[in-house]
Amino acid sequence: MPALRLPAVALAAASLAILSAPMAAAPEKPYRIVAGARVKGTKDAAPAATTLARTTIKGLTVSVEYADGGKRAAFLKTIDPGLADPFASPPGQPERYLAFVVGFQNDAASEVQFQPGNVALISDHKENVFPVDVTDLYMGAERAGRDDLQAVIDRATRTIFDSSTTIVAGGRLARLLVFRPLKERWKMFQVHFSFLQIGSETHTITFTFHKEEISG
């Protein structure tokens, strides 16, 4: 049988289609999220990976820990052993949120005012996202046709920072701070706290996290 020949016009069109077709993005390698900046080009041994970042300013200790599904479940049990994770993904699916356990230990002489809406997740591509709040969760449950909307509100107010929060002198408090995923591929991001008020002073705190590929 003679070889099949395409007309020159058809062949050119086929070639153009191949060249102009978008290339599929390479699948991302497995990774974990750890605290601190990425360290490159050093011969020193890398510090042990940790998901927890912490700093103290004016007597206030702030801790931020990346919380995957296992970490969230463990934290929620400290609030209520029967509390379901409202941010859990279906089995086998990637995480739907970037969640952090944020803790405050106030050893200052004054109370602390924290506004979760003033926290931003900022990627190395300058993409900014802000925390979800009770209204976001309520609207999402309503769109999904959930019947127990009040239960959604009650559970959210026990698990996340939603609105202005006061940490009294000598007090401590921990809740989840949850963000929708970053759209752009990233290697590092910062959890940036602005307008954290300690007594009459206002402070800014930034915590850095990075992506660490899992070998093997």
Q: What is the pLDDT of residue 64?
A: 98
Angle between helices 149-159 and 134-143 (to 10 degrees): 150
Identify which of 104, 100, 119 has the alpha carbon closest to the alpha carbon of residue 59: 104
Query: What are the boundaries of each domain within the chain?
Result: 31-213
CATH architecture of 31-213: Sandwich (2.60)
Q: How far is the CA of 33 from the CAs of 8, 30, 49, 68, 103, in angstroms?
A: 52, 10, 9, 9, 18
| Percent of the chain as helix, strand, coil, to the nearest 5 | 20, 35, 45
Spell out a b/e string for 133-147, using b for 16 or more CB atoms within 10 Å of the CB, else e. bbebbbeebeeeeee
Report yes or no: 51 and 66 within 8 Å, Cβ to Cβ.
yes
Q: What is the pLDDT along the chain (216 residues), one digit of tens a residue?
A: 444 444 444 434 433 343 444 444 556 788 899 999 987 755 444 456 799 999 999 999 999 999 999 999 999 999 999 888 888 888 888 888 999 999 999 999 999 999 999 999 999 999 999 999 888 877 877 777 777 777 777 788 889 998 899 999 999 999 999 999 999 899 999 999 999 999 999 999 999 999 998 875
- Predicted structure pTM score: 0.81
